[in-house]
A and B are shown apart, each in its own frame.
Chain A
Amino acid sequence: MDGGRFLGAFRACSGITDAVVLNHVPVGCNWGAGMFNSISQQADIRHACTVVHEREIVFGGEEALKRALELADKTCSTPLLVVISGDVPSIIGDDVQSVIDSLSLRKDVLWLEAAGYKGSMRDGYEDALVKLESLMKECEIKRRSVNLIGLCPDDFKVHADLNEIRRNIEALDISVNSTISMCSLEEFCTAPAAELNLVMGQGVDLAKKMKDDFGTPYIELDYPYGLEGSSKFLEALSGRLGVEYCEEKFIDLEPFKRTYLHQHEIYGTGVSVTGDFRCHSMSDFLERELGFEIEVKCSYDQCSSFEDDVRRSNTMMLFGSSFERGLARELAIPLMRFVYPVFDQVCMYDYAPYAGLRGTVFLTESIINTLMGFDKRPRYSA
C-alpha cells in the first residue's frame, strides 16, 4: 500500500508552513492529498488545485495553470508558491516552467513534477525535498546544531514526537536548527547553518545534496521509539558532535514501575506491525523492550501479503495505520495506530508523544490501555 509519488511530494511541500501548494491536477488528487492532511490540521489549509478538466485534456493545461497561478498570487499572502504537477499534466505534456516564466508574480514559485506513475510516496518525498533545496542559502554554521529530516506534517503524533525529540536533543546541549519538512520557509532556507543533518527514515537524498552543496554532514538514524531506540539515537548524535551522553541521567524508570505487572503479562504476546520506515523501530521496541513476539512485520514498500500473513499468524494486536482497522475488526483484535495515515483518531496534545524517552512511557501506557480496554469476543465463530 503506497500513496504514490504525488502524495509524497505533497506531504513534503505542505510541511513548509508558510508556503502554498498549488496542485496542477484534477480535483480528486487535490482532495485526496488534503483529506489525509486535514484530520488533525483543521486550521492549517494551504493548498488548492488548477482544476484540470476535460477541456485541459483536449487543449492542454497551461492556460488553467496560468490563471490559477495569477489567482493564487493575488489571494495568498505567503512568500512561496509550490506547484506540484501530477499525472495528467505529465501525460499531456504541459510546459510548467514556461508558464511560470511567462508570469510576473509577487511570490517565488517553485515547481516539481510528481506523476503518480513515476514512483512511490517515498520517491515523491525525496525528490520534492531535493527540489526545495534550491531555496537554501549558505549560512554561518551554528556549533552543536542539527537539522531533523524525515518528518511530514500529517504524520500521526508528529507535533508531540517532535517536541520530545527536540527536548531530548536539547538536553544534550545541542540545538535543533530546522525540522524538515515542518518548518517555515526561512527555517528551511537556513538549514545549512546546522552542523549536522540527522535523517530519520527518509529525506536522505536531501541530506546527500546538502552535503554536496553546503558540506553539511549527515547521519541516518532510526525513528526513536523506546528507551533503547531513543538512547541509540542520542548516543549516535552525541558521539558525532562530541557531546557526552549518559543514559542513566536521561532514563527515568519510575513510571514503568507503576505497571510492571502488566508489562510482565504482555511478555510473549504475538503482535504484527506495518507502516512506513517507522515500522522497523516500532517492532524493535515492541520486541526488545516490551517482550512482544513479532508475528508479522511489513513496511509499506516491502510486501503486499501483510493481511494474509497476519490472518495465518497468532497476532493478538496490530500496530499500523487506520487502514488496518478492517483487519483488526475481522480478527477481533485491538489496533494501535502509530503511522500515516491515521484518519480515525486525532492528535491535539503536543506533550503526549510516542517517540523519545517520555514517548516510551506514553506509548507503553497506550498499549496496555488498548489491550485492557478491548472487549474480547470470539475470533472465529462456529
Chain B
Amino acid sequence: MEEASLSISRGAEDDNSRQNSDYSDLELNLLADRSFLDIHGCPSRLAHYHGIDCKLSGSVYVVSEIERAIPLIHGVRGCAFHQRLSPRKLYSPVYDMACTNLMEEDVIYGGEEKLRRGIYDTYKRYNPDLIVVLPTCISGLMGEDVHSVVEDIKDEVPCELVIVTSEGFAHRDHDSIDSIMQYVATSWKNTSQQFDFRGCGQVDMLAALAEQLMEEQDVIENSVNLESNGRNTFGFNLELQEVGSILGKMGITLNTVFPTTTVKRIKQAPAARLNIARSRTDKWAAYMKDEFGTDHIKSWPHNSGIEGMARFLMDIGTRMGLDGEAEAVIDEEKKRAEKELVKIRHALMGYSFAIVSQSLIFNPHRARVYIDDLMIPIKCICIDSLVLNRLKVSQETRDMMIKNMYSIFDEMNLDFQITTDPSAQETYKISKEVDHVLGEFITSHVYERNAEIPVLDITMFSNMLYRTSFNVIIELGRYLTRRINRPQIRDRHLIVSRLKYNSPYYPLLDDPRISSSVSMWQEIWRANSRGGC
C-alpha cells in the first residue's frame, strides 16, 4: 500500500529539506524549530493581547497546508494583502494567493462575474489541484451567491473547487477562550465530548474539506489519519516521525496527514480506519464519523508520560483490533525507556529542584513526567496562574483548572511544596533552597530577575510531552542530566531583565502606550463581542 508522504506546497520548500534531512537527534530537531520557526512567531503571541486574527486567516492557513491548493479570496485586495501573513505561520507567508479585487463598482453591481473570472484566472495562472473560494466580509454583505457561481462552472474548471464560509465578521466571540479552557478543564481525564468552536476559520475549513472533498473509499485495514498541527509549527516534523515510527511498529500505516498533504490524499482520507484528531478542531472528524463511519480518537494532555502514552497507543491498537501488536510494541518501548530512565534518574537524584510553570495549570498530567517518569527530586512547584488573568478566563473555569492540578498532586502524595503565584522575592528565596530551577520562558519572575534566579529552560520539551512518544521524555531527561553538570551562570545581566514588564500582562512591557492599548482592547472586546446576533 502506498503510504502517506508529507507533501510540501509551494512556499514551504525549507520544510521539505528539513523533513528529508537526517534529523536523528531529537533535541536538535526541536532546537531547530525553536530557533528558526518560533523566532518568527513572537509578534503574533504579543498581538493576541490587543486583538484577534480574522476568521479568514484560519481558512487561508489550512489551504496553505495542502499541496497545489490555492486560496481565492473573494473580496478587496487589502484582505489578500494581509492574509498572506497568517499568524499561524509567520515563518512562511502564503505566497501563492488569488483575489477577486472587489472595487466600488462591484459593491454596487455585484461581483459574481469577477468571481467566475477569478476562478478561471486562478486555474490558468497556478494550474492547481484545488481552488478554495473564500468569501470575505464584503462579498458576504453583498449577498454574493458564491455557491451558484461555483456550481455553474465547476465542470469547466479541471480542478477541485471548495467553498468555505469565512466572512471576517463571523469571528469567534470573547467567551471563546474561556469556553476552550472550560472544555480543557472539564475533559482533562475524558475526551469523549465534542467542542463547538464557533467562528474559527481553521475548524470550518477542515470541516469543509471533509464535507466537500472527501470521497467514500474502501477501508484500508490498519490505517489511520493524523491531524497535523501545521508544517511550520513547533515539533511538527518530530511528531510525524515519532508517531509514524511507533504506529509502524504496531503494523499501522499513516493514510493521510490531514490537511498537510495532497488533494488526492485528502479525498482518500475515508479509507482510514481511524482518525487521530486534535482537541478543538475535530469537527471534521465528527463529520467523517457520521458520513463515512470513520472512528476517531483525540490526542490529549492526559496522554502525557510513559503510562499516558501507553494508554493512548493501546487505545489506538484496540480500536484497530491490534491489541496484541500494540501491547508488544508498548512493552518493548517501555522497557527501552525504562533502561534509559534508570540512568537518568540516577544522575538527577543527587540534586534538588524547583519547577516554575504555567503549563501545569493547562495540563497537570505533565507533572507525571517529572515525578513518575524522571523521578526528579522536586522540593517545590511554583505555579504561575497569572496567565489565566491575561486570558480573561472566568473565575469558575480558573477554579476548575486549579482544582484539577491539585487533584493530580494529591494523587501523587509526595512531599513537595506548592506555591501559587509567588512574588519575585519568594521565587528568589525558593531558588536559593534548591540546586536547580526548571522554568518556562514565559514565566515572569525568572526572567525579570534572571541574574538572581538562574533558570534551566525546559519549554522546548515541556510543550512536546503529550504530543509524541516515549523518546521525548528520555530526551528531556538526557537534556537535564547534561545541563545540571554544566556550571551555572549566576552573573547574567540579561538586557530583557533590565526592562520593566507589565503585570498582569507579562511579557508586555510596562509602557503606557501598551498598557492603555491593551486595556482599551480588552474593554471593547468584552463590551462589543457577544457571540453574534
Contact = CB atoms under 8 A, between A and B. Distances in A.
Nearest to B79: A116
A5 B168 CA distance: 18
A4 B516 contact: no
Contact of A71 (B10, B54, B140, B520): B520
A59 B95 CA distance: 37
Contact of B47 (A1, A35, A71, A92): A35
A327 B84 CA distance: 14
Interface string A47-80: 1111111111111000010011001101111100
Given A117-B103, A117-B138, A322-B93, A26 B169 contact: yes
B137 A26 contact: yes
B488 to A, nearest CB: 30
Interface string B33-73: 00000001001101100111111110000000000000000
Contacts of B141: 57, 88, 91-92
Contact of A35 (B13, B85, B168, B512): B85
A329 B95 CA distance: 11
Interface string A167-184: 000000000000000000
Interface string A17-30: 00010000011111
A7 B87 contact: no
B180 to A, nearest CB: 17
Contacts of B334: none
B511 A53 contact: no
Contacts of A215: none
Contacts of B11: 326
A289 to B, nearest CB: 31
Contacts of A29: 54, 78, 82, 168
A32 interface: yes
Interface stretch (B272-280, B398-406, B475-483, B521-529): B521-529
A6 B78 CA distance: 7
B528 A5 contact: no
B77 A78 contact: no
A117 B76 CA distance: 6
Contacts of B513: 43-46
Contacts of B524: 48-51, 67-68, 71-72
A87 B137 contact: yes
Interface in B377-410: none
Interface residues of B, number: 67
B338 to A, nearest CB: 44
B10 A326 contact: yes
A36 interface: yes
B93 A57 contact: no
Given A31-B47, A42-B46, A4 B81 contact: yes
B514 A53 contact: no
A38 interface: yes
A51 B525 contact: yes
A116 B137 CA distance: 11
A52 B106 CA distance: 22
Nearest to B140: A57
Interface string B142-158: 10000000000000000
A189 interface: no
A27 B518 CA distance: 14
A2 interface: yes
Nearest to A67: B527
B169 A53 contact: yes
A343 interface: yes
A344 interface: yes
Given A1-B81, A38-B46, A43 B527 contact: no
B52 A116 contact: no
A38 B43 contact: yes
A260 to B, nearest CB: 35
B516 A2 contact: no
Contact of A57 (B90, B169, B514, B525): B169
A28 B59 CA distance: 12
Interface in B163-220: 168-171, 173
B169 A54 contact: yes
A325 B230 CA distance: 20
Contacts of A6: 78
B503 interface: no
B171 A59 contact: no
A72 B520 contact: yes
Interface of A: 1-7, 20, 26-36, 38-39, 42-59, 64, 67-68, 71-72, 74-78, 87-88, 91-92, 115-118, 121, 322-323, 325-327, 329-330, 341, 343-344
25 contacts: A2-B81, A28-B55, A32-B83, A35-B47, A42-B43, A46-B513, A47-B517, A57-B533, A64-B528, A68-B524, A68-B527, A71-B524, A75-B523, A78-B516, A87-B137, A91-B138, A92-B141, A116-B77, A116-B78, A116-B79, A117-B76, A117-B107, A118-B104, A323-B93, A326-B95
Given A2-B78, A26-B137, A29-B82, 19 more contacts: A2-B81, A3-B77, A4-B81, A27-B171, A29-B78, A31-B54, A34-B50, A42-B509, A43-B511, A45-B50, A50-B524, A53-B170, A53-B530, A53-B532, A56-B169, A67-B528, A87-B137, A87-B138, A116-B77
